[in-house]
Amino acid sequence: MMIQSVVVFSFLFVAAYASVQDFCVADLSLPDTPSGFPCKDAKKLSVADFVYSGLGAAGNTTNLIKAAVTPAFTAQFPGVNGLGISIARLDLAVGGVIPFHTHPGGSELLVVIQGTICAGFISSANTVYFKTLNKGDIMLFPQGLLHFQINSGKGPALAFVSFSSPSPGLQITDFALFANNLPTELVVATTFLDAATVKKLKGVLGGSG
Amino acid sequence: MMIQSVVVFSFLFVAAYASVQDFCVADLSLPDTPSGFPCKDAKKLSVADFVYSGLGAAGNTTNLIKAAVTPAFTAQFPGVNGLGISIARLDLAVGGVIPFHTHPGGSELLVVIQGTICAGFISSANTVYFKTLNKGDIMLFPQGLLHFQINSGKGPALAFVSFSSPSPGLQITDFALFANNLPTELVVATTFLDAATVKKLKGVLGGSG
Amino acid sequence: MMIQSVVVFSFLFVAAYASVQDFCVADLSLPDTPSGFPCKDAKKLSVADFVYSGLGAAGNTTNLIKAAVTPAFTAQFPGVNGLGISIARLDLAVGGVIPFHTHPGGSELLVVIQGTICAGFISSANTVYFKTLNKGDIMLFPQGLLHFQINSGKGPALAFVSFSSPSPGLQITDFALFANNLPTELVVATTFLDAATVKKLKGVLGGSG
Amino acid sequence: MMIQSVVVFSFLFVAAYASVQDFCVADLSLPDTPSGFPCKDAKKLSVADFVYSGLGAAGNTTNLIKAAVTPAFTAQFPGVNGLGISIARLDLAVGGVIPFHTHPGGSELLVVIQGTICAGFISSANTVYFKTLNKGDIMLFPQGLLHFQINSGKGPALAFVSFSSPSPGLQITDFALFANNLPTELVVATTFLDAATVKKLKGVLGGSG
Amino acid sequence: MMIQSVVVFSFLFVAAYASVQDFCVADLSLPDTPSGFPCKDAKKLSVADFVYSGLGAAGNTTNLIKAAVTPAFTAQFPGVNGLGISIARLDLAVGGVIPFHTHPGGSELLVVIQGTICAGFISSANTVYFKTLNKGDIMLFPQGLLHFQINSGKGPALAFVSFSSPSPGLQITDFALFANNLPTELVVATTFLDAATVKKLKGVLGGSG
Amino acid sequence: MMIQSVVVFSFLFVAAYASVQDFCVADLSLPDTPSGFPCKDAKKLSVADFVYSGLGAAGNTTNLIKAAVTPAFTAQFPGVNGLGISIARLDLAVGGVIPFHTHPGGSELLVVIQGTICAGFISSANTVYFKTLNKGDIMLFPQGLLHFQINSGKGPALAFVSFSSPSPGLQITDFALFANNLPTELVVATTFLDAATVKKLKGVLGGSG
């Protein structure tokens, strides 16, 4: 009787199995869809598909902004595909800054692990919300709004930032405006900057035109 | 140092790129999914994928209803795929009518560009909402509800109708009932029309059975 | 003029057709996505894709739990793909029990067709909600919460259970804990059971380790 | 030590409790929102909020269509609020018909409990899908599409219909067109019916104008 | 018998009515929710709740940017609440510019009604997409991405812009950065601008600090 | 001219303001809705509504499980309301265990800050996925699936766990089964445990019946 019951249960599980979408680990070799990438075959998955060690080491902060963002989005960690969540590691050397940027596709929740970070965002109503955060503090940056993070302490700072999307996107305003070939005259016309400032920033950030 | 920073930023952008789903221009050669079509390779897109000129000319209104609907849904304008929006152009000659119809998959927002349009919809509670609209007026037609538009002026009318879905669908009631091979006896049984009326309308609208 | 109008209408329908996603019958031969399986070509569908007869016969209840669940989820009935709904048949012989389980992906609505069923669920607040249901009664089991059904009558019981997802999933707690190779020491550590009980249940339910 | 642990756990549950939205039984005395009604206080709920007996008895089919729909939507069964599912009972006397109608807000899944039902729907592409269903058969009617059900057997028929929304809505085409005060001239203009037919149907179905 | 049927149908409609959420016209006097404002009582609505004439007249373009945006979002047109769509009118005098901005909550679809508009957006991958649009052309601006519109013709330009949200939000980058009290040192630190430029722009745009 | 432009812009911002839903900080004094709590008046918010310091200190792990979960869900941190994200702090003393549990309303993403954690989950297909995680490792626990965390190191462990919902819920299986008044006979019937074991666990965990 026990064997029988196991057989019946097994049938039940087999029947239900193919229709279950507990998770959908991205097959990055296939084209994306509006809801995310197609799923890898569940039978070929192991725990390695759900664990990622790429955030364990500090990012390289030897750069202009003295900061590094190390993402675990779908492209780096295919397990988050379809689950509505992702995470990134934020390293800020002394004086490090993440310049004003937005995430078009998700809200952000930052937790300070080490150091002191001055962070802020600006609402559609043009109101500024900013504060100095210490170890253990968390702060929200609602979807699509301009925000920044600055290491305001005397040592390096470390934070983890979670997102309400597996692919929140990242648009750094200065790079969007100055690090491509958008013609200077269009940048001038659509900001309140003069041509000299635009050309200088294009030079600094690698843009042309 | 500047070169270094550009390199680090480039790395950041490259790393983030594959996981960003800013948009998902439909690859109509692949099968659709419940969330829309798979995306074209973002690296192969140009501004032409986000611009459409097919609504620039009036539709042909030399027909029974003296009206034309020119859609820019996913099938015509693959850029809207996954973005939750689409649009169509509505041309109504003098006396033109868009007969009662529904959009199963989205709400509609009409703006009158030229002429005078009498438009209305009927709620689930069987209440009628209709009004004569002039140039610049906008009107809502909530998802799935029966509605109509009539040119109630003395010259041609033009409107643009936006939808809350890239593929809102379109079901014109008369065509659904009379322009196919649904047996007359079933139409009679499921409407309050008599067989003669049903057969006549099938004749007018191209149905059989 | 009639012919002309039919032509114009046909054009309209053809133009709109490819972009319409009235439904998306699953093509189970392609990889799943977070929103469900890719769609079969709509032109190749017939009414058979929207009708399923697999719930017409009672499931085999000659097993340990004297019960059977016969699902019509996406895997069995591809028509539900993308439509946010599915159904299953529940047969409970005298003394039959569906042990504590959850559906990770959807809420459940049960309707009793025959017999008497004692059913209940437990909320996140640890509150128990249970009741004896008779023919025609309906009961809700909100998404993800532990629940059970017991035949509390003197004859066989039959119910249909609908779900708010085409693939709600099914996790029977005892099978999740005891019917696989999760090491006994981990089961002991993460429940309040002793090793002897765990090993005994692993034996009953087909687990190892 | 055991007491201590219970205290700590209780704290955990209390802390988590207020933020948990396992369910949201509608408080129909408050205004609705786009996501459904505000929730009753979870502490005041009992199992009675999750069970409904209103579908246990047959609806009255002594009427023009020899049919009755008995819904368990949010208005009748507030427990479904926010859960993405609802159900209704369908009674069809001999010769009974549910005329062409749509549910603007959800897909429908029908299961035949007794008798024989001929049911069908029409897609946006104007294609007809219909079939005769027997006991135990299930059939889908995708969101927003015109559909009907006819008792095609020699005895009464009973079905339960589940919906992918707690408030799917119901728009019976004939009642939308003829059972209100929409002026006859507008109905004539927006259907292909003549005024005499429209006035006759307004008479039958209780409309005016 | 006819009277009887009307009574039965009326009962059906009454029963279904309260649970139907065909639409949810915002009651702006009540607090907003994540899904939008609570609904006005459906019984008190008229067609006026679904029609808006506020976009019929040109906005005042006698200002620094020689442009005006006239929105019909939930705040101006409560009918769009919960329907996933809204619209605005865009007037651009000769030389008029809508500076770089984002809509955090929705994608935008622009249709040119009059004149010539150069419009563009920048992706998360830092790629520029821009084009000169003529009458009848439509262009997409995906959710949350920086974009601009410039009157590039010799006469005034008019466009309507639809959104995939009833409240898409609007964040003009220059105003977010310079038209409030965000301290100059923080603006300097989080952009690549120098303090003199920041202070000058704060002066132009009304900011302080 | 500058003053004029500021005035016009101010009008634009004022007009747009009320309809913008950048965020929706919960007003916990009002009833919840299916989409979350009604919003506090945006004009009365400050940065304090978006920052929370309650996760800065270790939870008290002097209890039976030698572990503590400190949540920042909507109830503790109203700023997350409507944003699709939340977070909690996980403290595990030496030998600490978070017993098998589920989150009915969201997926979880864990990042190890200190120590060594053995964590695992079980799929609907009854497959076990578990691994020992070190500092900096992240692991996913998909929505609604049973999972656990054990301190498998020699010192205390600390992790932060993010969720794809502002109110993911928490159902600890042992407490759901044994820490309430669900009658022993029902627990016996719906698990494979004997009455003695059930009664013993009820005693340990504070249940009755």
Residue pair C131/D51 in contact (Cβ under 8 Å)? The answer is yes
Dihedral through CA C17, CA C23, CA C28, CA C33, nearest 10? 90
Residues D127 and D59 in one domain: yes
Q: Which residue type, as a one-letter code, is found at position B93?
A: A
| Per-residue pLDDT band at F173 (split at 50, 70, 90) | very high
Q: Which of B112, B127, B121 is nearest to B142 (CA)?
A: B121
Is A88 a domain residue? yes
* Contact across the interface for C169 and A18, Cβ inside 8 Å: no
**What pLDDT score was predicted for residue D20?**
53
C46 close to B (CB below 8 A): no
Residues F158 and F193 in one domain: no
* Contact across the interface for C9 and B63, Cβ inside 8 Å: yes
Is A126 a domain residue? yes
Q: Count other Cβ atoms within 10 Å, centred on residue B134.
A: 13
pLDDT along chain A (209 residues), means of 10: 38 41 94 96 96 97 95 97 97 97 96 98 95 98 97 98 96 94 94 93 90
E120 close to A (CB below 8 A): yes
Quote the Cα angle for F102-A26-F103, to 5°. 10
**What pLDDT score was predicted for residue F112?**
98
Strands B51-52 and B138-141: unpaired
Tell me the CA distances in angstroms from D185 to C104, D198, E75, one per residue in order: 53, 9, 36
pLDDT digits (tens, 9 = 90+) for B24-47: 999 999 999 999 999 999 999 999
CA distance B17 to chain D (A): 34
Is residue C147 annotated as involved in ligand binding?
A: yes
Residues F201 and F135 in one domain: no
Find, in chain D, the residue whose alpha carbon is nearest to that of B201.
D192
| Per-residue pLDDT band at B21 (split at 50, 70, 90) | confident
- Which chains form contacts with chain D, at 3 or more CB pairs under 8 Å? B, C, E, F
Helix axes F195-205, D2-17, angle to 10 degrees: 80
| Structure token pair of residue B173 | 């009631």
Separation between Cα atoms, residue F52 and residue A133, nearest integer Å = 9
C148 Ramachandran zone, left/alpha/beta (phi>0; psi -120 to 50): beta
CATH number for C109: 2.60.120.10
Separation between Cα atoms, residue C110 and residue C131, nearest integer Å = 13
| Residue-by-residue DSSP string for chain F | -HHHHHHHHHHHHHHHHTT--S---B-TTSPP-TT-PPBPPGGG--GGGGEE-TTSS-----STTSEEEEEESTTT-GGGTTTT-EEEEEEE-TT-EEEEEE-TT--EEEEEEES-EEEEEE-TT--EEEEEE-TT-EEEE-TT--EEEEE-SSS-EEEEEEESSSS---EEHHHHHHSS---HHHHHHHSS--HHHHHHHHHHHT---
| Per-residue pLDDT band at C192 (split at 50, 70, 90) | confident
Residues F119 and F197 in one domain: no
| Residue-by-residue DSSP string for B48-94 | GGGEE-TTSS-----STTSEEEEEESTTT-GGGTTTT-EEEEEEE-T
Residues E160 and E180 in one domain: no
Residue pair A38/A27 in contact (Cβ under 8 Å)? The answer is yes
Separation between Cα atoms, residue E79 and residue E77, nearest integer Å = 5
E73 close to B (CB below 8 A): no
CB-nearest to E6 from D32, D62, D206 is D206
Is D10 a domain residue? no
Chains B and A touch (3+ CB pairs under 8 A): yes
Residue pair D16/F71 in contact (Cβ under 8 Å)? The answer is yes
| Per-residue pLDDT band at D18 (split at 50, 70, 90) | very low
Is residue C101 annotated as involved in ligand binding?
A: yes
C31 close to A (CB below 8 A): yes
Scanning the structure block, which residue is given the tokens 């459409």? B52
Q: Which of F130, F208, A22, F142 is nearest to C189 (CA)?
A: F130
Residues E105 and E147 in one domain: yes
Residues F148 and F73 in one domain: yes
Is C108 a domain residue? yes
Separation between Cα atoms, residue F133 and residue A126, nearest integer Å = 43
Is E129 a domain residue? yes
Residue pair A89/A129 in contact (Cβ under 8 Å)? The answer is no
pLDDT(F4) > 50: no
Separation between Cα atoms, residue B98 and residue B114, nearest integer Å = 16
Residues A114 and A147 in one domain: yes
Tell me the CA distances in angstroms from A18 to A14, C72, E87, one per residue in order: 7, 12, 43
E204 close to D (CB below 8 A): no
pLDDT digits (tens, 9 = 90+) for D88-113: 999 999 999 999 999 999 999 999 99
Q: Which residue type, as a one-letter code, is found at position D116?
A: T
DSSP 3-state of C195 = helix
pLDDT digits (tens, 9 = 90+) for C51-71: 999 999 999 999 999 999 999
Separation between Cα atoms, residue E17 and residue F183, nearest integer Å = 41
CB-nearest to B129 from E50, E121, E165 is E50
* Contact across the interface for E34 and F30, Cβ inside 8 Å: no
Residue D196: burial class (beta carbons within 10 Å; 0-12, 13-18, 19+): exposed
- pLDDT above 70 covers what percent of chain B? 90
Separation between Cα atoms, residue D132 and residue B81, nearest integer Å = 37
Question: Where in the sequence is the domain holding D121, given as residue range(s)?
Answer: 48-169
**What pLDDT score was predicted for residue D21?**
77
HSE-up of residue F147 (Cα within 13 Å, Cβ side): 30
DSSP 3-state of E2 = helix
Chains D and E touch (3+ CB pairs under 8 A): yes
Quote the Cα angle for F131-F136-F141, to 5°. 45
D111 close to B (CB below 8 A): no
Interface mutation vs chain B, best among C2, C5, C19, most B CBs within 10 Å: C19
Residues E183 and E151 in one domain: no
Is E157 a domain residue? yes
Binding residues of E for Mn(2+): 101, 103, 108, 147
pLDDT(F5) > 50: no
Is C120 a domain residue? yes
pLDDT(E82) > 60: yes
Residues B71 and B147 in one domain: yes
A175 close to F (CB below 8 A): no
Is residue F101 annotated as involved in ligand binding?
A: yes
Burial B8-36 (b: 16+ CB within 10 A, else e): bbeebbebbbbbbbbbbbbbbebbbbbbb
Number of domains in chain B: 2
Once rounded to an integer, what is the mean pLDDT over residues F106-135?
A: 97
| Per-residue pLDDT band at B209 (split at 50, 70, 90) | confident
Residue E11: burial class (beta carbons within 10 Å; 0-12, 13-18, 19+): middle
pLDDT digits (tens, 9 = 90+) for D58-79: 999 999 899 999 999 999 999 9
Residues A87 and A189 in one domain: no
Find, in chain C, the residue whose alpha carbon is nearest to that of A14.
C75
Is D22 a domain residue? no
Residues C65 and C164 in one domain: yes
